[in-house]
């Protein structure tokens, strides 16, 4: 039996970069998995760069309305 902890959700809608990435970095200090929600068009690029720098895994998608959701894990 596996115990799976729920991911921490960081809602950064309405924030412009670099704030979504900064909020993600702060959340990842204490969590092993974070779901970031952001609507800034640059957020995907910022999340990818931050994840590459720290060796995190990113699974993400963007909804039709331009809102992105990225699941970031160690």
pLDDT tens, 21-35? Answer: 999 999 999 999 999
**Structural domain contains residue 23:** yes
**Structural domain contains residue 50:** yes
**Structural domain contains residue 72:** no
**DSSP line for the chain:** ----PPPEEEE-TTPPTTHHHHHHHHHHHH-SEEEEEE--TTHHHHHHHHHHHHT-EEEEEE-TTS-EEEEEE-
**Structural domain contains residue 73:** no
Instruction: Provide the domain limits for residue 37.
Output: 1-58
Task: Domain count for the chain, please give it.
Answer: 1
In degrees and rounded to multiples of 5, residue 26 shows phi and psi of: -65, -45
Q: How far apart are CA 30 and CA 65, in angstroms?
A: 30
**Structural domain contains residue 47:** yes
pTM here is 0.88
Q: How far apart are CA 4 and CA 13, in angstroms?
A: 26
Instruction: Give every residue of the chain whose pLDDT is below 70, as ranges.
Output: 1-5, 64
Question: Which CATH number does the domain housing residue 17 bear?
Answer: 3.30.110.40
């Amino acid at each position: 039996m596996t115990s799976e902890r729920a991911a921490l959700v960081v809602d950064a809608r309405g924030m412009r970069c670099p704030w979504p990435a900064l909020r993600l970095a702060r959340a990842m200090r204490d969590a092993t998995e974070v779901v970031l929600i952001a609507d800034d068009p640059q957020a995907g690029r910022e999340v990818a760069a931050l994840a590459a720098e720290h060796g995190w895994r990113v699974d993400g998608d963007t909804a039709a309305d331009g809102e992105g959701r990225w699941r970031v894990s160690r």
